[in-house]
Amino acid sequence: MAKEKLEKLGQEILLDSEQTHEFEIDKNGYKGKFKCKNQTVADTLNIIALSRKMTSKMGLAAGEDPLYEQLVTEIATLETLLIERPDWFKDIMNFSDWEVIHEVHEEVVRYINSFRQPEGISS
């Protein structure tokens, strides 16, 4: 495949949000179906902006509370990448079970990581 075609294919994959993943969660009495999309460059920027916005609303500086930052990043990721979710998970900011949020986030991250190039393979 010519270099130009590979570059074009790479750009399409990088910007393509049509790639999706469906999964189910059954944890702590919460059960439901979810659908997420692959993360684009624009999504990454949105996650960063949303995380910063939530952190500043709480009056915290970056790096001040690592646990809070982790939760904020997970919520921002889910708000950005989830296409479908159960009604009980629509308002994540008022959801009370951190373990469920974390499990949904971990499934989304596993999906996103499936697109990454394995270590040891050069381009």
Give the contacts of 7 (CB within 8 A, at least 6 positions apart).
none
CA atoms within 13 A on the CB side of 18: 3
Question: Given this model, what pLDDT does residue 18 score?
Answer: 62
Please list the residues that pair with 23 across neighbouring strands: 34
Average pLDDT over residues 97-102: 95
Average pLDDT over residues 97-123: 83
Give first-to-last CA distance, the chain, whole Å.
Answer: 13
63-93 pLDDT tens trace: 677 788 888 999 999 999 999 999 999 999 8
* Tokens linked to 112: 């996103």
Q: Residue written as tokens 């009056």?
A: 59
Give 115's pLDDT tier (boundaries 50, 70, 90).
confident
13-64 pLDDT tens trace: 555 546 899 999 999 999 999 999 999 999 999 999 999 888 887 776 666 7
Statement: residue 1 has pLDDT above 60: no
Q: What is the mean pLDDT of the chain?
A: 84
Sequence ranges of the domains in the chain: 24-113
Question: pTM of the full predicted structure?
Answer: 0.76
Question: Given this model, what pLDDT does residue 48 score?
Answer: 93
